[in-house]
Structure 1
Amino acid sequence: MCSKTILLLTVFVFSLRGSLIANDHHKEITLWPAGEVPDEPKDIKERKKPTKTDASGKMRIAYVDNPTLTVYRASEEKANGTGVIICPGGGYNILAWTHEGTEIAEWFNSIGVSAFILKYRVPRRDPETPHSLPLQDAQRAIRIVRSNAKKWNVDPDRIGLLGFSAGGHLTVMSGVHYNKKTYPKVDTADDFSARPDFLMPIYPAYLGNRVNKDKLSELINVNKNTPPTFIAITHDDSDRSYYSALLYAALKKNNVVGELHIYSKGGHGYGMRKSNNPVHTWPDRCRDWLGSMGYLEKKQK
């Protein structure tokens, strides 16, 4: 065999190996066994809509009836043992998959954090409680990550949630309703706790009370066991900054570690993309907070 052929084969083998590693690190897994997605309405498939991608590369997933987790494992060299489940936003009607999902996962990997993008059920099944079935998916996702902690090189006591807009609401709901049994046990993964170790709602929506506009939603019952929370939002994001401030006040009242950043400008739905507005620095503050909490230190083996 000539040296040129050997060289080509070597390049092919290493390329294949790299591809396999990448596939393993970005593997998409289903949350529920086939046919066991709980509480799905029978007519849901009639509401199926296509996924769309706009000119800026933003993908919007408009229909999910088989929820999944896409695994983005941090490299062995950088991995610090912390894992974050990412909940994209979209009003519980779509999932902003790219700028509130994959781009965020890649950023977490760059700081040694393994990420898991949650593809929860959309569009809304129940207009009155649009979070109810996504909360089942979020609880199941937390338990699956915790049950696979050793396999995915994460510490089962360092698993948090980060979400945007509706995904930020889902993040908060996961942090205050982790003891609520939202679905019957499926398998041994459900023996694990559904409590997130920390929360990071970014421009969270739907936190307000629909009757008394000066209060948090009656569903958001912060207590001393609520996980530590980092919040980022802008002053010009409708009334959402007001309710984020109330959320922080509730954390403070219950002696829960919290950090709130309200930036002057930026609006809503910006993800992590750079802009001329002050809010584009929120990822730096998020990294600082994770570091201050000890979540960026290498896990002791």
Structure 2
Amino acid sequence: MKPVLLLFFGATMAGAEPLVQNLWPAAPPGPASQPQGEERDLTKPEDKLIAGRRIIKLGHVSTPQMHVYLPPKDKANGGAVLVCPGGGFTILAWDLEGTEIAEWLNTLGFAAVVVKYRVPTGMLGDALDESGVSPLRSLGPLMDAQRAVSLTRAHAKDWGLDPARIGIMGFSAGGATAGLCTVHGEKRAYAKTDASDEQSCAPNFALLIYPAGFVDKETGALRTHLKVSKDMPPVFFVMAEDDHVDCDNCTVLFTALKHAKVPAELHIYTHGGHGYGLRPTELPVTRWPARAAEWLQDMGLNKKAAP
């Protein structure tokens, strides 16, 4: 997909053309994606519809970017949320779990930064990298997300943001990416690149929506490379019990946060499956955005800083 077309999709879904910035000044660090052609929408006419509508399956992303959607100034609360779309580390569900989420966050007063992280990386596998920080398939996306957090803080003054209210949100594989970014905090997965990396790469809060990657499939416990501490920020979880991605990906991390006395809120619905984004259906799980908005308010994350 050509960049101009991507801007068109963003403008269509979020109501305003985003600010677009490459994440890296040169080639990204860590493992490269394995594109098979140019970046483009890989959706096929026969693909499953979500709430009766097609989705954009953005593939072959080798140039990671951040697409920044700023809310109207009269509505802005000074907070920001980075959004990591899902797609199995193969594609990005660009509108369903990206630009549509940005539009919703803007209605709540948050700036939204949709992270176009590199894909496909799924073929790199689930083995940990040499440092033990991340599975290889999620290492590049983790680096991209951490870099986006630092860049957002570096632009906080320009974009009218409170650098202490920079959160992250992710769906499915994007939930794994956002969760890794949250768990690792200041433990950066790459060597600092420039002055922007002097800014913290640790999110101040996280929303993990039907995330993957946290439960050890053999033991049913939290994966050993995930070290939860009391210094982690508050986390909000949503998942359905009948999701083919095991809902224990939420419950094991929630339990670890509870034991570490980190504020967390968990919503497990009986029915809902996977990959619904925030498109409403008759299923109660698709009313999670209202619960998330209540949580953001309860945690005081949507309050404007005193002048």
TM over 0.5: yes
Listed one character per residue, the Cα deviations across residues 65-106 of structure 1 (whole Å, up to 9, x for unaligned) are: 110000100110100011000000001111000110011000
The residue type paired with residue 64 of structure 1 is V
Contact 2:172 2:275 in 1 (8 A): yes
What TM-score do the two structures reach when normalised by structure 2?
A: 0.85
Q: Which residue of 2 aligns with 1:238?
A: 244
Listed one character per residue, the Cα deviations across residues 192-236 of structure 1 (whole Å, up to 9, x for unaligned) are: 111100010000012111442x20111222110111000011111
Gaps of 5+ in 2: 1-10, 46-52, 127-135
Contact 1:57 1:98 in 2 (8 A): no
Give the match's secondary structure for 1:150.
Answer: helix
Q: How far did residue 178 of structure 1 move?
A: 2.3
From 106, 109, 113, give the equivalent of 1:109: 106
From 161, 168, 177, give the equivalent of 2:168: 161
Q: How far did residue 247 of structure 1 move?
A: 1.3
Count of paired positions: 278
What TM-score do the two structures reach when normalised by structure 1?
A: 0.87
Gaps of 5+ in 1: 1-18
- Within-5 A mapping of 1:31-46: 31-33=23-25, 35-41=26-32, 44-46=34-36
Q: Which residue of 1 aligns with 2:125?
A: 127
Contact 1:203 1:232 in 2 (8 A): yes
- Which portions of structure 1, spanning 4 or more consecutive aligned residues, are displaced by more than 3 angstroms? 22-25, 43-50
Question: For residues 241 and 140 of structure 1, what CA distance do their matches in structure 2 show?
Answer: 28
Contact 1:207 1:240 in 2 (8 A): no
- Within-5 A mapping of 1:28-177: 28-33=20-25, 35-41=26-32, 44-46=34-36, 50-53=40-43, 56-124=53-121, 126-128=124-126, 129-177=136-184
Judging changes above 3 Å, is the alpha-carbon distance between structure 1 residues 297 and 61 closer, same or farther for their aligned structure 2 residues? same
Q: How far did residue 300 of structure 1 move?
A: 1.9
Larger Rg: 1
Q: Which residue of 1 aligns with 2:255?
A: 249
What is the alpha-carbon root mean square deviation over aligned residues? Answer: 2.0
1:182 lines up with 2:195 in the alignment: no
The residue type paired with residue 29 of structure 1 is Q
Q: Which residue of 2 aligns with 1:6?
A: none
Question: For residues 144 and 271 of structure 1, what CA distance do their matches in structure 2 show?
Answer: 26
State the identity as a percent.
Answer: 40
1:220 lines up with 2:210 in the alignment: no
From 204, 214, 217, give the equivalent of 2:211: 204
